[in-house]
Amino acid sequence: MPDIFAEIKKHLPADADISDTAFEGANIILYTKNKEFFLQRNTVIRDIVSIIKKRIELRPDPSLCMDLEQAEIEIKKILPAEAGVTSVLFDPARSVAVIEAEKPGLVIGKQGEILRDIKSKTFWVPEVHRTPIIRSKIIENIRGVLYQTNDYRKKFLNKVGHRIYDGWVRERKEEWVRVTFLGGGRQVGRSCIFLQTPESRILLDCGVNTAFNDQNAYPYVDCPEFKIEELDAIIISHAHLDHSGFVPFLFRMGYRGPVYCTAPTRDISALLALDFIGVAFKQAKKGLFDVDDVKEMVKHTICLGWEEVTDITPDMRITFYNSGHILGSSMIHIHIGNGLHNLLYTGDMKYLRTRLLDPAVTSFPRLETVIIESTYGGKTDILGSRSEAELKFIKSIDAAAKRGGKILVPVLGVGRAQEILVVVEKAIREGLIQPIPVYLQGMVWDITAIHTAYPEFLNQQLRKSIFHRADNPFLSDIFKRVGSRKEQDDIIESEQPCILVATAGMMNAGASLEYFRRLADNPKNLLIFVSYQSENTIGKKVQNGEKQIQLNYGDKPEIITVRMELVTITEFTGHAGRNELLRFVHNLNPKPKRIIVNHGESTKCIELASTFHKINKLETCAPKNLETIRIK
């Protein structure tokens, strides 16, 4: 028995009748055969938690749980009809009943009274999930994978816990911390940072660069110090492919450790990975990984909420904080050792309130080193106001619609698309744009559904709208899903104006490229760029003003003549502009001692690091890929 269980046992009453102990990651689970202790002794558990500073959960031994069929009847009898319960699923190995409902708050009840009622009458521990208002096949499939692998998950989470706690009292004579950039050093794309201590080996993000089709697309996981069999954990800041897209490949190579992220990040990264497979198939290329590898990633994911503290190795504890970038995106705060060092990895961030999200957090318990992005960190990257950007966007659309044109908005399926939908819905509702259909294609529909499943990760105003269906902007009947090639053909051939919101954001593949190919030569039509355009992408070539674009379409190249109107609105970006970055660092509390700049073009990384040094009198650097920095 690990020392942590021995320590807990010292504080338990003699009649606790603990039948089993287990870990669920960093959470410590105690199973009791004493009904009274399960129902009445919460204060005992709270007292132990205050002593050992670890999360403990008390559950009934499976032998106490009511029969499954009878329990389902009893639970549905207890739950109010207006809660909109869609399913009750059981995990017998963990004594957990998973309740999915449209209104989880009504399942929980005032101060948790309904959950307590379910516990006392059925001796199952209720776990409540929100049913997406818009049906999402990806969420259903992910939850299906988790339910089907309950036994495996229990063993896996217990193994993770042993890794964390078996060494929790071990003394360490030598202490150091180093980071190696396996991707994202002086570039945008394939973010991947290798964090090492004498005890732990961690990856912060592991993405692909979709602008390349060669070795430059992937992180340097073949470097000498990285050994996949020694990797303790992967932490994903957010779901975009340049931060998460290489993770399934690590499972293909044999990794079976934990992946830490928020629940929206898990769902969206799985969806993007599956789409990545589909794009490769359509282009007749060999996929980097397959569906089974994505399933393995999902099986090994441990989801955390914002500001939820958890140990991930014996000497590392992480906390996620809102980064303001996309749904579920997080800055990762890592407490290393017993107060040895505190590192903040911002991932991609936005220090501005948007239609979807609140700005990035700036207050932390302790802070010595910050690794910060610099996508828009150059001297000329001064973004204008959001309100002016929205007005320009609305006026451009209205003008194109009045001349009978079609408006193509290529988007990243996550974040930017939903921001655009909220802006368009409001503008049409207020009469600023004439009523025209808004067609959604690619992953936009599924990812919008995921937004409705996790409103707790959105800003307060939008969260309230989603809780009250009548005010949910995503449910507007102006939005139409394009589900087939025939529907796409009909839209293009129609003479009616419309808005086309389609992936991919850089037009390097997907529905947006097909729409561009067939709409580009008509000057009535409008193309609005609201996403960052990487070098070597079709979107960047068009944005740079090229009028003849060569596409490798089918068996032979095709030349596209660009006559449609082009508008670029940078201010919709989910990245912080230069002024936001400077203001973010200025407002950090406490003040860090070192800033490491990554995730930006080389000149922007170097220039921003220099500016931070001059203004804040901090140690700064902008490492290249494969450079290692000792931060403690």
Q: What confidence tens digit (pLDDT) does each residue in 363-399 have?
A: 999 999 999 999 999 999 999 999 999 999 999 999 9
d(CA 340, CA 172): 12
- Tell me which H or E stretch contains 558: strand 556-561
**C-alpha closest to that of 350 among 321, 379, 378:** 321
pLDDT for 1 equals 42
State the span(s) of the chain assigned CATH 3.40.50.10890.
386-572
Q: At what angle do helices 510-519 and 485-493 cross, to 10 degrees?
A: 30
Contact present, 179 and 629 (Cβ < 8 Å): yes
Q: What confidence tens digit (pLDDT) does each residue in 83-99 have?
A: 999 999 999 989 999 99
* CATH number for the domain running over 386-572: 3.40.50.10890
State the span(s) of the chain assigned CATH 3.30.300.230.
3-63
Cis check: omega of the bond before 453, within 30 degrees of 0 = no
Q: What does pTM read for this prediction?
A: 0.93
Q: How far is CA 80 from CA 71, 97, 119, 631, in A?
A: 16, 17, 16, 54
d(CA 119, CA 97): 10
State the span(s) of the chain assigned CATH 3.60.15.10.
175-379+575-630
Which residue, chain included where needed, has tokens 């259903």?
Answer: 140
* CATH number for the domain running over 175-379+575-630: 3.60.15.10
State the span(s) of the chain assigned CATH 3.30.300.20.
66-131
pLDDT for 215 equals 78
Q: Is 9 exposed, middle or buried (0-12, 13-18, 19+ CB in 10 A)?
A: middle
- Tell me which H or E stretch contains 295: helix 291-299
Classified as helix, coil or strand, 530 is coil
* CATH number for the domain running over 66-131: 3.30.300.20
**Total Cβ atoms within 10 A of residue 338:** 8
**C-alpha closest to that of 438 among 479, 476, 474:** 479
**Total Cβ atoms within 10 A of residue 455:** 19
d(CA 359, CA 288): 35
The CATH number for 3-63, chosen from 3.30.300.230, 3.40.605.10, 3.40.50.460, 3.40.50.970, is: 3.30.300.230
Residue segments in the chain with a per-residue pLDDT below the cut of 50: 1
